[in-house]
Structure 1
Amino acid sequence: MRRTRNPARSRAMARVASAVLSTALVLTGCSHTSHPSHTAHQDTGKAAEGSRPVPPDARHIALKGAVNVRDLGGYRTSDGKQLRYGVVFRGDALGKLTPADLAVTSKLGLKSVVDFRLPVEVRTDGADRLPKGASAIPLPIDDTGLYERTTAAIGSRDPAQQQKALGDGKGAQTMQRIYRTFVTEAGARHQFAKVLDTIADGKRLPLLFHCTSGKDRTGWMSYVLLRAVGVPARTAEADYLLSSDIRKTADEKTREGLKKSGVMKDPQLIVPLQEVRKDYLGAALTEADHRYGSFDAYLSKGLGLDAGTLHKLRTRLLK
């Protein structure tokens, strides 16, 4: 006998499929580590020797409705200066902040929250819940259709379709393609440059920028910002890689939920989409070198940052 389709169950499965994009995908809760003091940590730049400059919980702001919110303060530049705490923050989507979270974020004094998410992501995950005094700056960055393609594959509940879309290295290959578009696409370059210009101007600080999971568009933005003010490449890379550590528990719970609900037979297929990896970042950096000759040339020619803007960035952020 053919099983009758249950509309309520179908809607529930669709919500589960959408939920994985909220916590797992590139462009796209759980408990978090303790809130840092924002004053005690000193980064000596040891990442240049191959070690991570800070533990996973350093600078991490503990929230129940967002996993990956961090203060970019404290990092040291090559010439010994230090990024100020409390000026620029990075994060994931803020649509699920609790009243307690809003009390915490209100203490940050945010004036601006930049949202890199696409409209479809905002519709799925919800508009940001902003603390009083903060204004939204929507700067969507295209994901080349990854969100909708992956939602379709996961929502199909078909292991063969999911394997075809994500298996045999396709997930990692897709991520590398996405990262290259951060450099190749004029629209993406414009949005990243807009954030840097806004920070340099200083009128809308403190500022937080985020995407859905706070690791790819946000990760590249953070890397670019840190490099632009003189933070060593290995230190900036280490900040980028912290997202996998911070998101580990949340991502594991997402995979467990997909398995238990029957949405995915093999939820390990989404691991490449959940993680940040050196070769993802490397794909963007290689593209920057290929197109512009160097990272510094990418800043000046790709993002249009002149010497005056770079000087303003350093003045605003460093001490």
Structure 2
Amino acid sequence: MKIDYAEAYVLDDGQTEVDIKTDEQNLPDYELYWTLDNDKYTKEKKYLLTSNKTQVCFQFSYSTVRPTYFILNFKKHEPLLFGYRILPVPGMYNLRDIGGYRTSAGMRIKWGQVYRSDYLHNLEPSGYTFVKNLGLRSIIDFRGAIEVKDTPDPVIDPAIHTFAFDPNAETAAIAGRAQNLDTGKDMKERAKEALAKGETGNDQMIRQQESFVDSPASIEAFSNTIKVTAQSKYLPSLQHCRGGKDRTGFGFMVLEGILGVPAELLVYDYMLTKRARVKKNARYYQKFLQQTGNKEVADYMYALFDTREEFITASITKIMREYGTIYQYATDKLGLTEAEYLNLRKSLLEKA
């Protein structure tokens, strides 16, 4: 039985939605349990329901202080552990566990080892406790020095190693200012100048994603990221930028690609930011319209803020065209060594 991944989401009405992605025509009956242990064989689990559907919803009170996991128990197959894809943390909207994705070679990324997110500046006290209980050993911040100075992350634990790896992504920084509703003269003029040249926000975002592949600052930032992540002493790790979309999105596309996650799942993982901030997106677009008084300018700004498939596929396509595989790109351009590759596989993958 092949399951590409299983994941859970918190719904607005207090329910939890469990989604199972599989090509199986008839999923066998399973029992669903929940647990606070990141262990599919744990005895500390509680029964929820029995089903054979690929999507089920149920009323559930998740832990507000530490991650909740779920277990699918099948009669004739190994149990499958998974968790919330977008972690419910007050003060953060895009904290995600990349666990569970199945690789082309039949392995699976472990849950609870690598997280991606928006910045931690707005973390609320209860969310602080949750993040601390992730047991992080490293935090990698892709933001620039000015961004970090203006909106610093709180110190979760002095023992956590913090790294600043800035790929010098000006467009992403501009999008961050848009997210702060900075629609002042500088922002408007940038948009008008670009529009006068026939450029859209979409064009700018695609150009940025392509530049991540080979710009010197990006190569240094993402090379350092891979080398840190390949060291088990820095795991579990949280990696973030401002919104957790573009700089973080490129970094995780590369990491997941090195591990063998197929391209369609790389795009899927990137696009989850859209789900994470669907309400925020609608609200902000209206703000852009109101504060600029110009639909073209608002559309331009919104494109920098939005999550679109063509952004991440632009960088994937460039890597595939010039290097053949993401692994080869990481080897040739980011300096990934064989030892680091083997360490990543050992630390982050398990049998599916």
Structure 2: 5+ residue stretches without partners? 1-8, 13-17, 25-53, 57-82
Deviations 1:53-77 (A, max 9, x none): 999x941111232211101111111
State the secondary structure of the residue aligned to 2:238.
strand
Counterpart of 2:301, as a letter, is I
Question: Would you say the 8 A contact 1:73–1:86 is kept in 2?
Answer: yes
State the alpha-carbon separation in 2 of the partners of residues 172 and 192 from structure 1. 23
One-letter code aligned to 1:63:
V
Q: Identity of paired residues, percent?
A: 28
CA distance in structure 1 between the aligned counterparts of 2:149 and 2:188, rounded to whole angstroms: 27
Q: Choose 144-153 or 226-235, whichever is displaced more.
A: 144-153
Which position in structure 2 is the counterpart of 1:136?
Answer: 162
Distance 1:158 1:198, change over 3 A: closer
Q: Distance in 2 between matches of 1:72 and 1:190?
A: 23
Cα deviation digits, residues 8-41 of structure 1 (max 9, x gap): xxxxxxxxxxxxxxxxxxxxxxxx9469xxxx87
Distance 1:259 1:41, change over 3 A: closer
The residue aligned with 1:165 is: 194
Inter-CA distance 249–75: structure 2 relative to 1 (3 Å threshold): same
Distance 1:60 1:188, change over 3 A: same
Is residue 137 of structure 2 the alignment partner of residue 106 of structure 1? no
TM-score normalised over the length of structure 1 = 0.76
Instruction: Tell me, in whole angstroms, the C-alpha distance in 2 between the residues paired with 1:73 and 1:252.
Output: 29
Aligned to 2:308: 277
Structure 2 residue identity aligned to 1:221: G
Relative to structure 1, the CA distance from residue 34 to residue 89 in structure 2 (aligned partners, 3 Å threshold; closer, same or farther) is: farther
In structure 2, the residue matched to 1:84 is: 110
In the alignment, residue 130 of structure 1 is paired with which amino acid?
A: V
Q: Which residue of 1 aligns with 2:334?
A: 303
Provide, for residues 267-293 of structure 1, a one-character-per-residue CA deviation record: whole Å limited to 9, x for no partner. 333221122222212221233234434
Q: 2-side partners of 1:247 and 1:318: how far apart?
A: 29
Task: Answer whether contact 1:193 1:305 (CA < 8 A) is retained.
Answer: yes
RMSD after superposition: 3.1
Q: Please tell me whether the aligned partners of residues 226 and 255 of structure 2 are also in contact (alpha carbons under 8 angstroms).
A: yes
Change (3 A) 1:161 1:190: closer
Greater CA radius of gyration, 1 or 2? 2
Distance 1:135-1:45 versus aligned 2 partners, 3 A rule:
farther
Equivalence for 1:156: 185
CA distance in structure 2 between the aligned counterparts of 1:83 and 1:215, rounded to whole angstroms: 20
Partner Cα separation in structure 1 for residue 303 and residue 175 of structure 2: 15
d(CA) in 2 for partners of 1:257, 1:149:
14
Contact 1:43 1:75 (8 Å CA) reproduced: no
Cross-structure match for 1:196: 226
Task: Give the letter aligned to residue 144 of structure 2.
Answer: L
Could you tell me the TM-score, scaled by structure 2's length?
0.69
The runs of 5 or more residues in structure 1 that have no matched partner are 1-31, 47-52
Higher helix share: 1
Secondary structure of residue in 1 paired with 2:315:
helix
C-alpha change, 1:274 and 1:291, in structure 2 (3 Å) is same
Summarize deviations over 1:208-256 as a string: whole Å, max 9, x none: 0001010101111111111111111211211111111212211222233
- Cα offset for 1:265? 3.6
CA contact (8 A) 2:258 2:326 kept: no
Q: Which residue of 2 aligns with 1:21?
A: none
Query: 1:164/1:200 Cα in 2 relative to 1: closer, same or farther (>3 Å)?
Result: same
Aligned residues: 275
- What CA distance in whole angstroms lies between the structure 1 residues aligned with 2:328 and 2:186? 45
Q: What is residue 242 of structure 1 aligned with on the other side? A: 272
Residue 95 (structure 2) pairs with residue 95 (structure 1): no
**Aligned residue runs from structure 1 range 1-319, under 5 A:** 33=10, 44=22, 58-124=84-150, 126-132=151-157, 133-144=159-170, 147=173, 154-156=183-185, 162-165=191-194, 169-260=199-290, 262-266=291-295, 267-319=298-350
The structure in which a higher percent of residues are strand is 2
Contact 2:138–2:162 (8 Å) recurs in 1: yes
| Contact map agreement 1:77 1:231 (CA 8 A) in 2 | yes
Question: CA separation of 1:163/1:200 partners in 2, compared to 1, >3 Å: closer, same or farther?
Answer: same
In structure 2, the CA distance between the partners of 1:161 and 1:92, relative to structure 1 (3 Å rule), is: closer
Cα distance in 1 for residues equivalent to 2:231 and 2:268 = 27
